[in-house]
Structure 1
Amino acid sequence: MRRFARSTEMTLLAICVVFFVALVIASDGELLAANSLRVLLQFLAVPVLIGLAQMVVLAVGQLNLAVGAIGGFAAAAMAVLMADHGVPAPFALLIGFLLAAVAGLVNGVLVVLTRINGFIVTLATMTVLIGVQYRMVGTRTVDAYPQALKIFGSSALFGVVPWIFIVALIVAGGLSVLLRRTVPGRKLLASGGNPIAARLSGISNDRSVIVAHTLSGAVLGVAAILTVASSPGVNKSIGGDWLLPSFAAPIIGGALLTGGSAVVLGTVLAAFIVRFVDTARAEFSLEPSWVNFVVGAVVLGSVVLGQVRTRRQQRRTVVKSPDVTVAGGVS
Structure 2
Amino acid sequence: MNSDNSEDHKPKLANKQRSRLTSGLSQGKVKPQDIGLKILAQPVDVEDIEVDIVAVHGIGVNPIKTWVFKENNVNWLSHETMLPAAIPNARIMAFGYASYWFGDEAVKLTLDGVARKLLMALGSARDGCKHRPIVFIGHCFGGLVIQQAYTIAALHHKDEDFYGIFDSVTGVVFLGTPHYGVQDSFQRQIQGQIYKKVAEANIQVQDNILHSMAPDNDLLVKCVFDFTRTVALEQQQAPKLFCFYEQKPSRIDLIVGLPNITQEFIVNGSSGILHGHPCECLPLDHFSINKFEDNQDDNYISVRRQIVKMVKGSKYIMKGRKIIQVPPMGDYEIIDGHKLQRLEGAGTTRTKQETVGDEIHNGQISPACY
TM-score, with structure 2 as normaliser: 0.24
Q: Which has the higher contact order (CA 8 A, sep 6+)?
A: 1
Higher share in strand: 2
